[in-house]
Structure 1
Amino acid sequence: MRKWVFGVAALFAAPAMAQAPSPKPPVDRNILHAQVILEHLGFGPGILDGRAGQSLTAAVRGLQEARGLKVTGVIDPATLAVLHQYRALRPVRTLAVGATTMQGPFVDPIPKDLPEQGKLKTLGYRNPLEKLAEMFHTTPEVITALNPGVTTIQTGTMLRLPNALPGSRDYPADWKPEWRQTLNMLNVDPRQPRADHVVVDKSEGVLKIYGSGNRLVAQFSATMGSEHDPLPIGRWKINGVDTNPKFHYNPKLFWDAKKDDDPAMLPPGPNGPVGVVWIDLSKEHYGIHGTPEPQTIGRTESHGCIRLTNWDAARVALMVKPGTPALFQE
């Protein structure tokens, strides 16, 4: 029976003599409960980690705007009353690891050299723990914290996991099989609101989905632009959606590319530069896409594109269509 050593140290082994990172605060079940409810309501708090932070604050602000409450970013009594209506969505589910979770192909290590990456069939997960973390919208470190004493995982292992399970898996039969498989793996519900228009707000660090009547129906924390590649402020449109995309690395488009870099075509996979989906924009070379590093969303810079967690990018892909307006604002 296939087993895998269960521990964050195995994933992120620090070099000898490196200073140990500051310990993470414990997972707060009450905060995790709020995060789970917010995510199910369409206001993504980033990773489900049971910890306060800027992504949770942004998600609360989004819910408050959508429900006509005073926008504070704080879970005040009025906001708590809204969340309380959905208290049946428990923060943690205890589930058995399925056989498909233990299946690869796993790629460890992922080569740093892009031409070497181009030789791979997929830029898949490094191991089952990383895959589990993506499935349940969290990080390996959080799964480890929720399961003290568990040292290995295998098919049938019982684990406590953030409740990212969708209410439906009724994916339309005319969707590409590979895309249905990706959505199922990421626990993305096929029932998503339709976007009338998209707003990317630099000052708030979020991507907002508005439905008819200019009503906010969903919001997600995002990474957008940098000093070298600023967010392209203006009015654009969605050209289309490419699911499980390959990535064409063109060094001419990257200011930080090495002089001797050659173009490369990288295979699809969740650990590719744009994750599981590319939402193409009418601004040439720009798009909304996923990421192999969900814990960095809102905390790092991009090359001008709008980067979301893979699960949030997949949700947005289900909300938009070619021609959907997209406003990028300061």
Structure 2
Amino acid sequence: MTNKIDNKLSRRVFLGASTACLAAPALAQNDDSTEVERDLSEVVRRNISSFRSLDWRPYFNNTKNGAILVDITSRALHYWSEDQSFYKLYPTSVPLTEDLTRRGRTSIIRKVEGPSWSPTPAMIKRNPEWPSFVGPGPDNPLGSHALYLSWKYYRIHGTHDTRKIGRRSSNGCIGLYNEHIAELYGMTKNGTQVLLI
């Protein structure tokens, strides 16, 4: 009889502990704390993006040349093909701070596979230890592909540092996983509309 009671208690303890472990991530997601993201080596308490499909019509008059919407708040990039038959949604990195963030309408003016990178004058001022030039490759902060926008110094590009995606981690650009920027690169062209909100 004692064995039966011990087995029932053990089973209850096991089930209770398992349920508590499974519920812990959900409880953590409801935490009302504000995340601050500066150093990628710091632990991120919450890295949740409010991904949802969107319709292009509230944001664009048409989809001529294709259309890209970057939602800074949800850290997502939406792409619609010119004929609206194709829609893609990608997670992104976004600028660290509001003063580095630019919003509004622009377009792709140049596409580069295997881009090189040079820091902007403002970046050099903030980080004088940074190199003045980085060629294509695994150390390049622009990743495998870059879509240059009509705004000077602003790009949609890949990253070799996948920890940045879904976070406030850039100096102004929008970053994607390399496989996502390669796909987007193949679908876009010079003249593709871009809107950052």
* TM-score under structure 1 length normalisation: 0.39
Query: What amino acid is aligned across from residue 323 of structure 1 in structure 2?
Result: G
| Residue in 2 that maps onto 1:197 | 67
Q: Map 1:22-171 to 2 at 5 A.
A: 54=48, 58=51, 61-62=52-53, 65=54
Query: What amino acid is aligned across from residue 164 of structure 2 in structure 1?
Result: T
> Relative to 1, partners in 2 of residues 1:226 and 1:296: Cα closer, same or farther, differing over 3 Å?
closer
Percent identity of equivalent pairs: 27
Query: What amino acid is aligned across from residue 204 of structure 1 in structure 2?
Result: S
CA drift of 1:212 comes to 3.7
Q: Distance in 1 between the 2:168 and 2:98 partners?
A: 13
Of 292-301 and 233-242, the range deviating more from structure 2: 292-301
Deviations 1:173-200 (A, max 9, x none): xxxxxxxxxxxxxxxxxxxxx9611111
CA contact 1:195–1:209 (8 Å) conserved in 2 = no
CA contact 1:228–1:303 (8 Å) conserved in 2 = no
> Relative to 1, partners in 2 of residues 1:318 and 1:229: Cα closer, same or farther, differing over 3 Å?
farther
Deviations 1:92-142 (A, max 9, x none): xxxxxxxxxxxxxxxxxxxxxxxxxxxxxxxxxxxxxxxxxxxxxxxxxxx
| Residue in 2 that maps onto 1:323 | 191
* TM-score under structure 2 length normalisation: 0.63
| Residue in 1 that maps onto 2:116 | 246
Q: Distance in 1 between the 2:190 and 2:160 partners?
A: 25
> Relative to 1, partners in 2 of residues 1:262 and 1:296: Cα closer, same or farther, differing over 3 Å?
closer
| Residue in 2 that maps onto 1:285 | 153
Q: Distance in 1 between the 2:169 and 2:104 partners?
A: 19
Query: What amino acid is aligned across from residue 246 of structure 1 in structure 2?
Result: S
Aligned to 1:275, what secondary structure does the other structure show?
coil
1:313 paired to 2:176: no
Aligned to 2:107, what secondary structure does the other structure show?
strand
CA contact 2:94–2:167 (8 Å) conserved in 1 = no
Q: Map 1:265-284 to 2 at 5 A.
A: 265-284=133-152
| Residue in 2 that maps onto 1:171 | none
Q: Distance in 1 between the 2:98 and 2:126 partners?
A: 9
Q: Distance in 1 between the 2:101 and 2:187 partners?
A: 22
4+ runs of 1 displaced by more than 6 Å? none
Aligned to 1:249, what secondary structure does the other structure show?
coil
Higher strand share: 2
1:235 paired to 2:73: no
Q: Distance in 2 between the 1:204 and 1:262 partners?
A: 30
How big is the alpha-carbon RMSD for the aligned residues of Structure 1 and Structure 2? 2.7
Aligned to 1:283, what secondary structure does the other structure show?
coil
Q: Distance in 2 between the 1:241 and 1:265 partners?
A: 19
Which structure has the bigger radius of gyration?
2
* Gap regions ≥5 residues in structure 1: 1-24, 26-52, 67-193
Query: What amino acid is aligned across from residue 310 of structure 1 in structure 2?
Result: N
* Gap regions ≥5 residues in structure 2: 1-20, 22-46, 56-63
Deviations 1:42-79 (A, max 9, x none): xxxxxxxxxxx735x62xx23xx57xxxxxxxxxxxxx
> Relative to 1, partners in 2 of residues 1:198 and 1:278: Cα closer, same or farther, differing over 3 Å?
same
| Residue in 1 that maps onto 2:162 | 294
CA contact 2:97–2:168 (8 Å) conserved in 1 = no
Q: Distance in 1 between the 2:73 and 2:119 partners?
A: 29
